[in-house]
Chain A
């Protein structure tokens, strides 16, 4: 069983940003989508979300910055209720409590505006919203870039724990191969709107086939640099 998409493509202003792409995302898999800035990662995410929603597949996309997801003028409680309504759920205090606790946000009142929380907490709140209903696919777009390392690692661990016993597939989108390699069992490399490699993480790291992937592997973490 897998989420199967054929010929996914996207263009902007008449220019093809994502060339027709076939994707197979195994149920419960942990997949990394990596590529340099401008390779089309976010475009692929948006096209994927549109496509899956049209097919009535439960998908949630957590953007890079919580600012993109939260209205600064609305209280967090409003965002929560709005998400419940959008998903056709009635308000359930117990579910809210459990989910917020799973992301380390238990006991915090929601009658505040987003900016009254730290960015790390906002990001985790957005992830909690994404996890409100059972998901077939959770997309985390650059999940660590807005966060300090401790919060970033803890957040990814919390998400991992929460979806561990479900069928949710996780797609981590990042320019940082080091991050993807520690969190995904399979990696797809996007370059100039095309998936140029798709392999098990270990295989891709040990034998990158293309120049783009070789460069990503060579710059995978800092300590390997001859400094």
Chain B
């Protein structure tokens, strides 16, 4: 289980996130919602160990998160890959980095689950569609079986139809693989459809934390209410089904 306890991160002397606590259990999905600049990406950076916490603890199963235990799926699928390497090389990188053996059967199974034609992996990032590249990004995150995967706006570069299809593939794989997922997103519809719990982040604080069901039924904070109204007004969620 991912546990973030009283995490504070300062960058350039400014407090970007302040005393945040949250947790995500294996097989569960936490969606972190909030405006640009709320500190969402800083949170992701801190969990990955790329940013140093000023205070507080981040742990998995009670121990600090080791290298390779958390993977990241980035927002812009194509620029997330080395443009000069075939996708296969990048996708298998976590195995090389962790000195883990190749597992062709697992690769094949994951490709099937993500609807990736294995031949596509021999192409360069710019020779595949954005949707295909993002599924390759998910494949790379999954390949070394990390217990925790962080998704930073994983669907925002994809079109509306591809978004929903990709989200469904990720969700199905999560049921099979049992990884914990922390998804940073603006997309309330995505959170409503796929998250178990919701954390609303604003100016570095957690404004509201709830199960997805409770949040979408009746957000407790004014800001959560505003987010929900905006999503309805933009057609991402239909009022009738909330």
Contact = CB atoms under 8 A, between A and B. Distances in A.
B61 interface: no
Interface residues of B, number: 38
B37 interface: yes
B234 A223 contact: no
B234 A37 contact: no
B238 A176 contact: no
Contact of A144 (B162, B227, B234): B234
A171 interface: no
Contacts of A151: 35
Interface stretch (A52-60, A131-139, A177-185): A177-185
Contacts of B34: 148
B161 A36 contact: yes
Contacts of A37: 130, 158-159, 162
Contacts of B235: 176-183, 220-221
Interface in B209-242: 226-227, 229-231, 233-238, 241-242
Contacts of B164: 219, 222, 225
A118 B230 contact: no
A66 to B, nearest CB: 13
Contact of B242 (A149, A150, A178, A223): A223
B120 to A, nearest CB: 17
What's the dominant secondary structure at chain B's contact region?
helix
Given A221-B235, A223-B241, A149 B188 contact: yes
B190 interface: yes
B78 interface: no
Contacts of A182: 233-235
A178 B236 contact: yes
Interface size classification for chain A: 35 or more
A153 B226 CA distance: 10
B186 A149 contact: yes
A2 to B, nearest CB: 26
A153 B234 contact: yes
A221 B227 contact: no
A179 B193 contact: no
B230 A219 contact: no
Nearest to B216: A223
A177 B190 CA distance: 15
A153 B193 contact: no
Given A149-B227, A153-B230, A221 B237 contact: yes
Given A156-B233, A222-B190, 13 more contacts: A36-B161, A149-B188, A149-B230, A150-B227, A157-B233, A177-B235, A178-B235, A178-B236, A179-B234, A182-B234, A219-B165, A222-B167, A227-B194
Per CB-CB distance, the 4 closest pairs between chain A and chain B, nearest first, are: A222-B189, A178-B235, A149-B230, A153-B230
